[in-house]
Amino acid sequence: MMTSYVIGQAMKAGKFKESDLVTVGNDAWATGNPVFKGSSLMFLKPGMQVPVSQLIRGINLQSGNDACVAMADYVAGSQDAFVSLMNNYVNALGLKNTHFQTVHGLDADGQYSSARDMALIGQALIRDVPNEYSIYREKEFTFNGIRQLNRNGLLWDNSLNVDGIKTGHTDKAGYNLVASATEGQMRLISAVMGGRTFKGRESESKKLLTWGFRFFETVNPIKAGKEFASEPAWFGDSDRASLGVDKDVYLTIPRGRMKDLKASYVLNNTELHAPLQKNQVVGTINFQLDGKTIDQRPLVVLQEIPEGNFFGKIIDYIKLMFHHWFG
């Protein structure tokens, strides 16, 4: 998943395209690398030229460890350099219990993660690289004349709208699955690690997702463009700035707790000075439940406030001086 995330970020930055051809190196040779023995593979051979689009599907759908190496070499020049990128993103995403030593996730000394961190990587895939994430819902792909199925069996379960994410298995780690499903505006992510069988990881994931949809709900406490608060606007052609959000806010909370949800805001600066642009971020909205902040959203200006005329600004300057002196 982190390999996919790094690739997705590199494509998002325009460093390469899905149509680009990757020349497979010796270290990505499926049958010539003892590290790959018994693992999931695309069966790449040195010298092959394979489109990026095929390699990322080999990674995301088939868990192709040889494809991971081929893409790591292409993106970063070497596996070690790619692993450094992976661990940089570990820090950037605030993962507390994860460290990578390989580009493919096969067992290695010093490599570890947790169910929570894996779920957070899944969340980052969905949020930050949606084009990359959209591949995970594909049920099959064909490479070198061989049709291969997505290893995530929940994609075929009609009782849930599952669209990802990733399976994994090694002898030490067991059978693992990070899954995600949607229901209306709600999206849930489950993480099952250390399962005994591939069917077991699917059944446990289904239990978690079903439980989540039953006992949680997604609410819309603030709509885009609707005033949430107003603040004095100084030196502009309007006395007050209308503040809110530029996108509908959706929060997933325990079912029936909407009445207990509280929202407050903090400005980035103590005063708002014109000119103020529409959708300019001027603060943060904090959403709390049971005294804990569960989410945050940018607080933005809903209507543009141009700079006022000379005499209006003089009056505001005098008012602001009195405000500073006497509160």
Question: 215 CB contacts (<8 Å, ≥6 apart)?
Answer: 254, 255
Percent helix, strand, coil in the chain, to 5, is: 35, 30, 35
| DSSP-derived pairing of the beta strands 240-244 and 272-273 | unpaired
User: What is residue 38's three-state secondary structure?
Assistant: coil
3-state secondary structure 231-246: EEEECECCCEEEEECC
91 close to 78: Cβ distance less than 8 angstroms: no
Query: If residue 195 lies in a helix (H) or strand (E), which one and from where to where?
Result: strand 186-195
Determine whether the annotation assigns residue 166 to a binding site. yes
- 122 alpha-carbon distance from chain centroid: 6
52 close to 64: Cβ distance less than 8 angstroms: no
- Binding site listing: 166
- Binding site listing for substrate: 166
